[in-house]
Amino acid sequence: MSENLGSNDTNTANFQHGAGVDESLIPKSAAARTVGPIDYMFMWLGDGVNLGNMTLGSSLVVAGIATLNIFQTFVAAIIAIGIISAVFALNDRMGYQTGIPYVVQLRMSFGIKGSVISSLLRGIPAIIWYGFQSWIGGTALNEIAKIVTGGTFDNVFACFVVLQVVQIILSLYGFHAIKWVESVISTVIMLALLYVFLVLLNSHSAVIVEKWVHAKGTWGLPFFAFIMMFMGNYAAIFLSAADYSRELKAGISNGKRGLLYFFPIVVAYGSVLCIGAMLAAATGISNPVKAFAIVVNNNYITLFVSAFIVMGAVAVNMVANIIPPTYVITLITKLKYKVAVTISGLLALGACPWVLVQDSSAEGLGLFILIYSAFLGPIVSILLLEFYALRKGQLVVIADLYKEDGPFAGYNPCAIIAMLIGAGAAFMKVELAWIIGFVVAGISYYLLMKYAYQDSTFKIGTIFEKKLNLGKQTNL
């Protein structure tokens, strides 16, 4: 049976008092959820149609040579999208059914203290992505400023700071601050990208065919590395799937929620990957904003599209990169949401995102994704194994996850050790970091939970329980 989401309304005060956490971390009731299926799809479409993901496409072209040809690129993309959608649908179930955020979900496997470590491993990459998206948006804002001032103003860093301040102000209004903008932004950017696609075909098709379409490419390690990079790009987001599904209206089946991820990701990523690779092949520049300005060479169109690139960067950050680290800061420091979200924005200012992408190469971005996914693969593996294999879809009473002296107090050494083993294995072959870490951590966690720390309270409610349960269980 699914838990009655509405029952959380009367217990919010009790949760808050017992846990000493901000109300933003309290289970969200069905009545408080306002995001419908269409809005949810547009949210992920808006998240995918952005310059950061386009840069991932441009990373395929290094020093004018494509590492994968067009066929290999899209085969890798479809494989990655299928896995991403499946993991999303599996890992969003706890947040959707109970209304808890990701940082609270972690407590079931890692413990209240242990979840601090694992939540930081999600929050830190989000901060850097926050800064990176803002830097891309700042680059576009600078293009606007150059056109408006006739070239007298040219300062990307100043535009970056201005945009970051604007985002901090917007983020103070919460998850839904720009929900209505997502549909408009994603639609307009898709139309703008279609225009760029047609321009590229009309004026640069020969060089694109030579450098990308007819490139020899490979089905070897770079092919699988791109799948891992693709998945790593979403690894942080589907890891914290509960943060998003808890906002979605109740009554949607697990299968349908999977489609709510799959379709927008296919459309968004299919478009931006293709155009990113085409832009890099045509211009030799990995920064899509700069490449776009060269290809279009029309101030009015550049001004129009750059404005929506700026808005798109803001929309992506509001969806994917602001809420997760804010929840982490709120959890660790006990600060209120508005203070925590401001700190997130200030930290993103110091992320030095310009280091990740140079005009000649976006390899820095790819390496960053592969490194942090070495940790995120193990964490999502542990969460899925815990819920589906060890607990058989059952969860100890939600209130126990908020009790500092409850069954999830302290940390679960099995989860911490398994995560470190998985990450260590992943770094042995960083190109395949996510999948190696995922598999090794999952096996390690299962064996540790079965054979080690026999008196651990974290075994209660699992298939390895040898003692009486501490509380009533709810089948999700």
- Decide: residue 228, CB within 10 A, 0-12 exposed, 13-18 middle, 19+ buried: buried
3-class SS of residue 473: strand
pLDDT-based confidence at 15, cuts 50/70/90? low
Which backbone phi and psi does 409 adopt, to 5 degrees?
A: -65, 155
Query: Which tokens go with 266?
Result: 């296919």
Task: List, for residues 348-360, the tens digit of each pLDDT value.
Answer: 887 776 666 555 4
User: Which top CATH class is 34-377?
Assistant: mainly alpha
Q: Is the pTM of this model over 0.75?
A: yes
pLDDT higher at 98 or 53: 98
How would DSSP label each residue in 224-288?
HHHHHHHHHHHHHHHHTTHHHHTTBPS---HHHHHHHHHHHHHHHHHHHHHHHHHHHHHHS-S-H
What does the alpha-carbon distance between residue 412 and residue 458 come to, in Å, rounded to a whole number?
Answer: 7
pLDDT 10s digits, 395-438 = 767 888 888 888 888 899 999 999 999 999 998 887 788 889 99
User: pLDDT: is 217 or 450 the higher one?
Assistant: 450
Q: How does DSSP assign 121-133, residue by residue? A: HHHHHHHHHHHHH
Do 228 and 432 contact (CB within 8 A), yes or no?
yes
Mean pLDDT of 298-327: 78
**Percent with pLDDT over 70 in the chain:** 85
Bigger pLDDT: 335 vs 4: 335
CA 84 to chain centre: 11
Q: How confident is the model at residue 7 (pLDDT cuts 50, 70, 90)?
A: very low
| CA max distance for the chain | 74
449/429 Cα distance (integer angstroms): 26
Domain boundaries, the chain: 34-377
The CA R_g of the chain, rounded to the nearest whole Å, is: 22
Q: What is the mean pLDDT of the chain?
A: 81
Assess whether pLDDT exceeds 60 at residue 177.
Answer: no
Least confident range of 52-56, 150-154, 343-347 = 52-56
pLDDT of residue 3: 40
Cβ pair 33, 249 in contact under 8 A: yes
Question: Could you identify the residue written with the tokens 């699988």?
Answer: 224
As a whole number, mean pLDDT of residues 81-87 equals 86
Least confident of 30-44, 402-416, 436-450: 30-44
Supply the pLDDT for residue 13. 45
* Mode of pairing for the β-strands spanning 61-62 and 65-66: antiparallel
> HSE on the CB side for 181, CA within 13 Å?
18
Say what angle helices 156-171 and 114-148 make with each other, to 10 degrees.
Answer: 130
DSSP per-residue letters across 156-211: HHHHHHHHHHHHHHHHTT-TTTTHHHHHHHHHHHHHHHHHHHHHHHHHHHHHHIII
Q: How many Å apart are CA 235 and CA 238, to the nearest integer?
A: 6
13 burial type by CB count under 10 A (0-12 exposed, 13-18 middle, 19+ buried): exposed
Q: Do 379 and 387 meet the contact criterion of CB atoms below 8 Å apart?
A: no
Q: Report how far residue 225's alpha carbon sits from residue 14's, in angstroms, rounded to the nearest whole number.
A: 47
CB atoms within 10 A of CB 428: 11
Give, for 395, the enclosing helix (H) or strand (E).
strand 394-396
